[in-house]
Amino acid sequence: MISTETDILRAAEDWARGGRGVAIATVVETWGSAPRPVGSHLVIDGEGNFLGSVSGGCVEGAVVAEAADVIADGKARMLEFGVADETAWQVGLSCGGRIKVYVEKVN
């Protein structure tokens, strides 16, 4: 089981060296009772495989979907999730917190 930040960034490097498209998502800000601390990572490849966690499962699906675009066009994106978000009913945080997630491609 890969569960640690250590293994996640190592995996990102290995994946990129292996020729896979890779994006790194990082929790850069949190408000309220966010499930994962600032600095947590999710690593995603071009086929939607992912390791790590930015929210304990609440918004990973949405981040993985955005990461596909980041890998495709190389442009970094800032994503925001929370109860104030209009898509909250879809991919909100059940705990009521808000998080900002930065998604960037490994070049």
Partner 1 sequence: MELSTLAALNAERQARRAAVLVSDLAGGTQRLVKQVAIAADPLAELLERQLRSGKSGMVEADGTSYFLTVQAPHPRVVVTGAVHISQAMAPMARALDLDLVVIDPRTAFATPERFPEVTLLAEWPEEAIGRIGLDAYTAFVALTHDPKIDDPGLVAALRSDCFYVGALGSRKTHGRRLERLAEAGFDATTTDRIHAPIGLDIGAVSPAEIALAILAEIVQTLRGPRRKPA
Task: Catalog residues that contact partner 1 under the rule CB under 8 A.
Answer: 3-6, 9-10, 12-13, 16-17, 24, 26, 28-29, 37-39, 76, 78, 102, 104-107
| 3 vs 90, beta carbon nearer partner 1 | 3
| Residue showing tokens 């499930």 | 35
CA distance 105 to 95: 29
Q: How far is the CB of 63 from partner 1 (least distance, A)?
A: 16
| 21 vs 92, beta carbon nearer partner 1 | 21
- The pair of structure tokens assigned to 68 is 């596909």
- The pair of structure tokens assigned to 41 is 């990572």
| 69 vs 102, beta carbon nearer partner 1 | 102
Most distant CA pair in the chain: distance in Å? 40
